[in-house]
Every structure is written in structure tokens, then in C-alpha cells.
């Protein structure tokens, strides 16, 4: 095995990725799949932080037409990420990976409050740190939480796991003529109007020159290859 290119990474997973073939919720198969993928990195000596979404349970935008105000809906979405975080934590610990879950909203009965220095210390001790409850503020997505936490902990890259193997000129699931990019600059992403993350998260990464790698999380071996510096997915950097 070669030398690591990325020693500390932040892995961004969508809540929908836990649904599998279901329309909502969490499947045991997908949960174990992601736990095993993270364990591979952990066993290689990579320091891993994870931010997971909550779209498989609740999205803030779902509050439209329900009588639930948008801010309340966003808080409900944050709590959904805590549910996913607890599920991932349990799956990781069942296969021998030490974890700490840290939340942006205080809920000491189930997780530690997020404190930057403490999160870094956990990583240094070889624990996988699961960051839940977004940024703790409404109007911010889990993409923004991922960008914020990655920059705070000094991650070497954000690895954004998706269902497709990178960034394309159009949605490859809808347009068979879509062309994949291997590398992009932040400026090129903006000029082409490509959707990598929401603009708040993307701008934060651009300003701090935080590389983003968009890749297929479901393909076995992708994560180890990425941290070893192999060309996988699409790399966005300055």
C-alpha cells in the first residue's frame, strides 16, 4: 500500500444514501456498507470525520404546506441527522471502530456537544468523529455543515459520496450524452453553473482552498483509492 495523500478527510454522506431501495428510512444493508467503507479508511490510518444528511427522514423543505414554519422544519431536519448519526455510530462500533458523535445542538444524553479542539483530539486518537445536527442553525444545509467542519478541523479534503462517479456536464442519470470531468477549478464550476454543493458551502471551500472530491460511494474500493491519491471521481480545487 502506498503513502496516504489525504491523512485527514471529511466524508459527506446524504441521508438518502441510507435508504437503499426504500422510499424512506434506513436499510441495514446500506448502513453496513458505509460502515465497512469507513472502516477501510480507519484501518489505513486515515483520520475520518463524517457529516451525514437527514433527507431519508425529514427535509426542511418538506414543511411547505404542512403548517410547519420553515425554521421549525430546518430544526426537524437537524434532528433527522442525529438519528442517522446514531445509526452509523452503532454500525461502526459493531465492527470494532471507535467513534464519537458530536452535535451542533446540545443533547448530552446521546452525544457530545461539538467543540472544535475536542473533535481534533478525537481524530488524533483514531476515533471516527460523526458530526450531526448540521451547523446548529436554520437556513444552512448539511453541505454547509460539511464545509464548515472540514475547514475547522483542518481536513485535507472533503469527500462527497454520491450515486454517480463524479461531476458531469448534465445529470448522467437523465442525459446519456453527459460528459464527466476529471478535474475542475472552483472558478470553472461557477462559470459552467455546475451543482457540486450549495453556494454557501462551495464558497466556503473556495475561499479556504479546500479540495472537494465527488465520487461514487457505492463502488467498492473508491475510498481507499482516493486517500492514496488515485484518480477517482472528480477533483475540484483551486
* Alpha helix positions (H), 98-221: 116-124, 142-153, 186-192, 199-207
Contact partners, residue 222, CB within 8 Å, separation at least 6: 215, 216, 232, 233
pLDDT at 1: 60
Long-range contacts of the stretch 66-72 (C-beta < 8 A, 24+): 70/138, 71/138, 71/139
- Report how far residue 180's alpha carbon sits from residue 94's, in angstroms, rounded to the nearest whole number: 37
* Number of residues written out for the chain: 238
Residue 57 corresponds to which cell in the numbers above?
Answer: 427522514
Set out the domains of the chain in order of their start, with CATH numbers.
Answer: 8-237 (3.40.1160.10)
- Cα–Cα separations (whole angstroms), residue 21 to 16, 26, 129, 176, 219: 10, 10, 27, 23, 16
Please, what is the angle between helix 199-207 and helix 142-153, to 10°?
20
pLDDT in tens, the chain (238 residues): 669 999 999 999 998 888 888 888 999 999 999 999 999 999 999 999 999 999 899 865 565 677 888 899 899 999 999 999 999 999 999 999 999 999 999 999 999 999 999 999 999 999 999 999 999 999 999 999 999 999 999 999 999 998 889 999 988 888 989 999 999 999 999 999 998 899 999 999 999 999 999 999 988 899 999 999 999 999 999 8
* Partners of 147 in the β-ladder: none
- Report how far residue 75's alpha carbon sits from residue 70's, in angstroms, rounded to the nearest whole number: 9
Sign of torsion over alpha carbons 96, 108, 110, 118: negative
Amino acid at each position: 500500500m502506498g503513502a496516504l495523500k489525504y491523512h485527514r478527510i471529511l466524508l459527506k454522506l446524504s441521508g438518502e444514501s441510507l435508504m437503499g431501495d426504500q422510499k424512506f428510512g434506513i436499510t441495514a444493508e446500506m448502513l453496513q456498507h458505509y460502515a465497512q467503507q469507513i472502516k477501510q479508511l480507519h484501518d489505513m490510518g486515515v483520520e475520518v470525520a463524517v457529516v451525514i444528511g437527514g433527507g431519508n427522514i425529514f427535509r426542511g423543505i418538506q414543511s411547505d404546506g404542512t403548517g410547519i414554519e420553515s425554521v421549525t422544519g430546518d430544526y426537524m431536519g437537524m434532528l433527522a441527522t442525529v438519528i442517522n448519526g446514531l445509526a452509523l455510530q452503532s454500525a461502526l462500533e459493531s465492527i470494532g471502530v471507535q467513534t464519537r458523535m458530536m452535535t451542533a445542538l446540545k443533547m448530552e444524553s446521546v452525544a457530545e456537544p461539538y467543540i472544535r479542539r475536542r473533535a481534533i483530539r478525537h481524530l488524533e486518537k483514531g476515533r471516527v468523529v460523526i458530526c450531526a445536527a448540521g451547523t446548529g442553525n436554520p437556513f444552512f444545509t448539511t453541505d454547509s455543515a460539511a464545509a464548515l467542519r472540514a475547514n475547522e478541523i483542518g481536513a485535507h479534503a472533503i469527500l462527497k459520496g454520491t450515486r454517480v462517479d463524479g461531476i458531469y456536464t448534465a445529470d448522467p442519470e437523465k442525459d446519456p450524452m453527459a460528459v464527466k470531468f476529471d478535474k475542475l477549478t472552483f472558478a470553472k464550476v461557477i462559470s459552467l453553473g455546475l451543482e457540486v454543493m450549495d453556494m454557501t458551502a462551495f464558497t466556503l471551500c473556495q475561499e479556504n482552498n479546500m479540495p472537494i472530491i465527488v465520487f461514487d460511494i457505492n463502488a467498492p474500493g473508491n475510498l481507499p483509492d482516493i486517500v492514496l491519491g488515485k484518480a477517482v471521481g472528480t477533483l475540484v480545487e483551486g
